[in-house]
Structure 1
Amino acid sequence: MASRLRTAMWDRLFQRCARPGLSLQSQIRQMLVSAILDGQIPVGVPLPSSRELAEQLGVARNTVVLAYQQLVDEGYLISRERSGHFVNPDILGRKAPLPEGATGGGPAPRWSERFRFQPSRQRNIVKPENWQTFPYPFIYGQFDPSLFPTAEWRECCMKELSVMEIRDWAPDLIARDDHSLIQQIRTRVLPRRGVWASEEEIVVTVGAQQALYLLADLLVTDRTVVGMEDPGYPDARNIFASRTSRVIGLPVDEQGLPVSEALDQCDYVYVTPSHQCPTTVTLPLERREALLRRAEKADFVLIEDDYECEHGFAKEPLPALKSLDRSDRVIYIGSLSKTFAPGLRLGYIVGPEVLIREMRALRRLMLRHPSAFIQRSFALFLALGHHDAMLRRLSYAYRERAQVLAEAIDRHLPQVAHVPTTGGASCWITGPSWLDARALARSAAARGVLIEPGDVFFMADDPPRHHFRLGFSSIPVDKIEPGIQRLAEALDEQAGLHGARTYHAR
């Protein structure tokens, strides 16, 4: 390389480090750090002067001066009077030498024979990674930036980055959780569901998903019988199936899980009473009470996943199953981040103190505890009332979207049946018996419409294929009807392939 680094290199590196939201100074700093650590700037070769680099990048000279000075302060660069800036050789550290004369070894392990099971082969809900590029994403449980309280969340995070607050959350909590978040769950979140719990009866998890995995890991053996709603939540089914082959399906009806003798063979029954996954129906109060009586009589434990409890459209939502529990028969799972921002991954378990104590000890073996910074920031988000305000906005938005979706389905898809949406952020669709929802999903995707085939929710090896789910948490209200119109076109196409008649408004 020439004694001076080439102009073209800086142009290329700067373009690579361009990121929306980063200041020019931060982009220049990132560019220089990457070039230094990747070995693109040899030791002993001077960097361009601040004036030269500023001209090459088209930025103010002072921006480069400040970036250089910051990297000098942090030990990445050395400033030599009248010579310029150079890479500090100490920052590169010592690299292990490559072995000489290395030859191929023996046969590699046969990994497929070593796995206890292969989770990649389980049937899962699959969402395209690029779903945000589709104009009509009817997929469930995804993020809508237009509904995210950016300023309020930033306020809480910035407050927790103060010097005094960092001293509280930066140490390792080991098996504990942030005290302020536990208090907010106890006093703000759970009472809305009629649930009262002590500090010792709550543990925070990395989303409801980890809550289910912890329960399966602690409570389920190869002899355990776990009852699952059918259709039901695939991830819960897969988690329990990773521990026992005795996962049995319990068919649901238009009111959710029936209370019958089929429950008596179970050690645990997983249930979603607020909005049954995926049909969205709500378990009536009478069935909830009967389910608890049955659990006491047959000595099984209920695992209540209250995943959509915050988004019922009824003025007086039914209390959680846990709120009716008087004999510690219900383990309650909730999510703090599902509708707020799924990427935050915050959930919790409420259960008897003896169970929660073991949950904490098991969680410590896995990851000790969820991010203390996120816990503390969310606790402040709750304490300042931002969470309640956000829930009100989401409930209004979801109610409006649900109404528009139902009207669009009735207008453009009269050949399908849909469960009336009384809350949550999805609609369960039953199509004609000839329909293959996976083929429909492919045809719809070609038109920019994403839907979720429903066969994955059923336990059978050959499940029904004429169901699908339409989520509306991440699609703007003005996109709903145009999306359903395009879905109707895709359904017409599938009907033509099967020689079936369709009719809908145009």
Structure 2
Amino acid sequence: MGHDSRAILFHLEHDRTTTLQAQLRRMLVSAILDGQIPAGSPLPSCRALAQSLKIARNTVVLAYQDLTEEGFLIAKERSGFFVNPDILSARPKELVTRPEGGGSDAPDWTARFKCRPTQQRNVVKPANWQDYPYPFIYGQIDQTLFPLAAWRECSRQALSVNSVREWANDRFAEDDPLLIEQIRTRLLPRRGVRVGADEILVTVGAQQALYLLSTLLFDQKTVFGIEDPGYTDARNIAGLRGCRLVSLPVDEQGLMLGSQLDGCDYVYVTPSHQFPTTVTMSLERRHAILERAVEKDFLLIEDDYESELTHAGSPQPALKSLDRHGRVIFISSLSKTLAPGLRMGFLVAPKPLIAELRALRRLMIRHPAANNQRTVALFLADGHHDTLLRRLCNVYRERLAAAVTAIARHLPEFTVNLTAGGTALWIRGPKDCDMAAIATAAEKRGVVIEPGAVHFLGQPGPANFCRLGVSSIPTERIETGIRLLAEAVREVSR
């Protein structure tokens, strides 16, 4: 680069997501802060820069004026715009970098770890799953279904002057009262649950709810019952506490009432759509497990997973709504209906437990981001969530039916759990079937599936199960995707 910054070559990348003015601003700020344009140096004239970038002169003028108001540039009459030396004077001098690690004095991190979360068994998905034409990925959304205009409008309202005044201050440990009210009056009554505002805590997804509960309630003496197969991260979170995990089998009515329950302190259960088998717990089983909880003195952690995505018949009432003895802790999430990246969930429990959980959450994150809470509250209040639910139920019902039909045609030797709702199928192949090998062969054909062994408590889990999600794949690609999956099955079996 020459000393005269007017000679600097500027270049704007093609980016549909950002305005030209915003791109130009970002480019200029980067050049100033990185020292590419020295302090006190002149910038190209508005006309010259506009011509070299092939953009309107007014775009450059507005960007320069914006940066002048914020102190990056100084405007000198008849001379143009110059880099403000004060901007760089406040930045620390570049430190001498040393190579990381190595040497005899480097700490032995392995010896210092008190637990190793990286060693736990988890569902593994390709980071670039969106690049595959047939992503039967679970837990992700089809962005074409998301009501972007409605979300933007709620975001805009959440950023109004009055709203910002409300949420910008530190709430310490409190949640947005508008969101709590929407959860209490809009979401929970659908599940038959009626509670006070002081019995609800907003969480960063259902997973944080589980983590908070395990931190507060579990230790090495705790006996934690979990459905088998079951939710991998519930198992992993409990595993970090060193408690004893007990396998609880599942049948076509949900969690079975075996003697394994009797020694448990806490039982994690997904009655709406069992994770991952998709079965719904019968009403009789719900009443029976609540009676057993009282009789044997254990608590139920009800993950109301995918309850709102019901495709056939009326949803069963939540365990929490049937609970007369305060035995059920209820957790839920908006990830499956809004977006997993939003990380918005909530927990319902008796007041003394909520008070301790709130104090614990304050030590971790104080509270989930207040602006996001307000946006979600407005989205619920304006009825957008209800509209979205109707749309998702229609689309997912259609996709699941297409997948079941295609499996019957191309993989008749495979058994599918017919589901009354949700976004995925649980599939069992012949006993000698290796779903991990099939997943590898399918990936080469552009098909992504999730082998099911990871969901079983025992190791190694059965190799002949897999989960097929339909939330991310358009209906018209499902038939072809499953035909290609069948090709992978034949290739592996040969």
- Shorter-chain TM range is over 0.9
Deviation at 1:310, TM superposition (A): 0.6
Partner of 1:83: 79
**CA contact under 8 A between 2:39 and 2:84: conserved in structure 1?**
yes
Partner of 1:463: 461
Q: Superposition pairs for residues 279-294 of structure 1, below 5 Å?
A: 279-294=277-292
Per-residue CA shift, 1:412-431, capped at 9, x if unaligned? 11011110121000000001
Deviates most, 82-91 or 435-444: 82-91
Partner of 1:25: 21
Supply the distance in 1 between the matched residues of 2:65 and 2:122 (Cα, whole angstroms): 51
**CA contact under 8 A between 2:218 and 2:243: conserved in structure 1?**
no
Deviation at 1:282, TM superposition (A): 0.6
Deviates most, 314-323 or 180-189: 314-323
Give the secondary structure class of the aligned counterpart of 1:368: coil
1:295 aligns with 2:267: no
Partner of 1:3: 3
Deviates most, 174-183 or 338-347: 338-347
The letter for the 2-side match of 1:358 is: E
Say what the alpha-carbon RMSD is for the aligned residues. Answer: 1.7
The letter for the 2-side match of 1:35 is: A
Give the secondary structure class of the aligned counterpart of 2:221: coil
Deviation at 1:239, TM superposition (A): 0.2
Judged with a 3 Å threshold, the aligned counterparts in structure 2 of structure 1 residues 102 and 487 are, in CA distance, closer, same or farther, namely closer
Give the secondary structure class of the aligned counterpart of 2:466: strand
Supply the distance in 2 between the matched residues of 1:94 and 1:464 (Cα, whole angstroms): 58
1:39 aligns with 2:35: yes
**CA contact under 8 A between 2:219 and 2:243: conserved in structure 1?**
no
Gaps spanning 5+ residues in structure 1: where?
497-506
Give the secondary structure class of the aligned counterpart of 2:272: coil
Supply the distance in 2 between the matched residues of 1:41 and 1:249 (Cα, whole angstroms): 64
Per-residue CA shift, 1:128-148, capped at 9, x if unaligned? 111111100001110211110
The letter for the 2-side match of 1:39 is: G
Which of residues 346, 360, 372 is equivalent to 1:348? Answer: 346
Deviation at 1:4, TM superposition (A): 2.6
Partner of 1:483: 481
Deviation at 1:173, TM superposition (A): 0.8
Deviation at 1:8, TM superposition (A): 6.7
Partner of 1:138: 136
Partner of 1:444: 442
The letter for the 2-side match of 1:330 is: V
Deviation at 1:289, TM superposition (A): 0.5
Deviation at 1:245, TM superposition (A): 3.8
The letter for the 1-side match of 2:276 is: P
The letter for the 2-side match of 1:112 is: T
Give the secondary structure class of the aligned counterpart of 1:252: strand
Partner of 1:504: none
1:390 aligns with 2:406: no
Per-residue CA shift, 1:147-192, capped at 9, x if unaligned? 1001111111101111111100111111100000000000000000
Q: Superposition pairs for residues 67-466 of structure 1, below 5 Å?
A: 67-92=63-88, 93-96=90-93, 98=95, 107-466=105-464
Give the secondary structure class of the aligned counterpart of 2:385: helix
**CA contact under 8 A between 2:176 and 2:374: conserved in structure 1?**
yes
The letter for the 2-side match of 1:41 is: I
Deviation at 1:101, TM superposition (A): 11
Judged with a 3 Å threshold, the aligned counterparts in structure 2 of structure 1 residues 229 and 29 are, in CA distance, closer, same or farther, namely same
Judged with a 3 Å threshold, the aligned counterparts in structure 2 of structure 1 residues 426 and 97 are, in CA distance, closer, same or farther, namely closer
Supply the distance in 2 between the matched residues of 1:105 and 1:434 (Cα, whole angstroms): 50
The letter for the 2-side match of 1:483 is: G
**CA contact under 8 A between 2:277 and 2:426: conserved in structure 1?**
yes
**CA contact under 8 A between 1:3 and 1:46: conserved in structure 2?**
no
Supply the distance in 1 between the matched residues of 2:372 and 2:25 (Cα, whole angstroms): 27
Judged with a 3 Å threshold, the aligned counterparts in structure 2 of structure 1 residues 306 and 100 are, in CA distance, closer, same or farther, namely closer
Deviation at 1:102, TM superposition (A): 11
**CA contact under 8 A between 1:7 and 1:56: conserved in structure 2?**
no
**CA contact under 8 A between 1:136 and 1:450: conserved in structure 2?**
yes
Deviates most, 127-136 or 335-344: 335-344
Deviation at 1:47, TM superposition (A): 1.2
The letter for the 2-side match of 1:5 is: S
Supply the distance in 2 between the matched residues of 1:126 and 1:415 (Cα, whole angstroms): 26
The letter for the 2-side match of 1:142 is: Q
The letter for the 2-side match of 1:262 is: Q
Supply the distance in 1 between the matched residues of 2:436 and 2:42 (Cα, whole angstroms): 59
Deviation at 1:246, TM superposition (A): 0.5
Q: TM-score, normalised by structure 1?
A: 0.95
The letter for the 2-side match of 1:388 is: D
Supply the distance in 2 between the matched residues of 1:232 and 1:157 (Cα, whole angstroms): 36
Deviation at 1:83, TM superposition (A): 2.6
Supply the distance in 2 between the matched residues of 1:259 and 1:100 (Cα, whole angstroms): 61
Deviation at 1:76, TM superposition (A): 0.8
Number of positions where the alignment pairs a residue of Structure 1 with one of Structure 2: 492
Deviation at 1:434, TM superposition (A): 1.4
Supply the distance in 2 between the matched residues of 1:189 and 1:289 (Cα, whole angstroms): 23
Supply the distance in 2 between the matched residues of 1:316 and 1:463 (Cα, whole angstroms): 34
Q: TM-score, normalised by structure 2?
A: 0.97
1:58 aligns with 2:31: no
Supply the distance in 1 between the matched residues of 2:7 and 2:449 (Cα, whole angstroms): 49
**CA contact under 8 A between 1:170 and 1:372: conserved in structure 2?**
yes
Supply the distance in 2 between the matched residues of 1:430 and 1:286 (Cα, whole angstroms): 27
Give the secondary structure class of the aligned counterpart of 1:479: helix
**CA contact under 8 A between 2:6 and 2:43: conserved in structure 1?**
no
The letter for the 1-side match of 2:135 is: P
Judged with a 3 Å threshold, the aligned counterparts in structure 2 of structure 1 residues 60 and 281 are, in CA distance, closer, same or farther, namely same
Give the secondary structure class of the aligned counterpart of 1:311: coil
Supply the distance in 2 between the matched residues of 1:56 and 1:102 (Cα, whole angstroms): 41
Deviation at 1:303, TM superposition (A): 0.3
The letter for the 2-side match of 1:38 is: D
Deviation at 1:433, TM superposition (A): 1.2
